[in-house]
Amino acid sequence: MKQDQSINVLGGGLAPCSLAPLTGFFRDGHCNTCTQDQGSHTVCAVMTAEFLAYSKYVGNDLSTPRPEYGFAGLKPGDQWCLCASRFLQAADEGCAPLVHLEATHARALAIVPLPLLQSHAIKTPDPHA
């Protein structure tokens, strides 16, 4: 598999999403992607209880541990490379999680408009303030 260039939705280098829990299509902690990533695991989302309950309700249980796959289950506050279409679906339902833009892959823009991602962006402190 040939990985796409690691560019975020803002045009910069792709920041890590999470090493604990380890996320990413390539399980490298980044929302890197490639043409084989049909789910487009490109949105670095911050889990909330509301989103995890919604995700479980629609059949994509991210909170239940699956030890056979080395998956401890996600909890509120965890960051995860979420499928772009799942983010869009949750946004349409009013329960989209927050997004780390610098860690969200540019390929997410093929599915989710940038203004929608920006409206759910986590607020990072201004280092110059």
The confidence band for 128, taking pLDDT boundaries of 50, 70 and 90, is low
Diameter over CA atoms, the chain: 46
Beta-bridged to residue 105, according to DSSP, are: 8
Residue 91: Cβ within 10 Å count? 18
Residue appearing with tokens 């490639």: 34
Q: How far apart are CA 120 and CA 33, in angstroms?
A: 21
pLDDT tens digits for 54-80?
999 998 889 988 888 778 899 999 999
Percent of the chain as helix, strand, coil, to the nearest 5: 25, 15, 55
Q: How far apart are CA 51 and CA 34, in angstroms?
A: 26
Sequence letter at residue 78: D
Q: How far apart are CA 102 and CA 44, in angstroms?
A: 9
pLDDT score recorded for residue 69: 77
Q: How far apart are CA 27 and CA 16, in angstroms?
A: 11
Q: How far apart are CA 54 and CA 108, in angstroms?
A: 21
pTM, two decimals, is 0.91
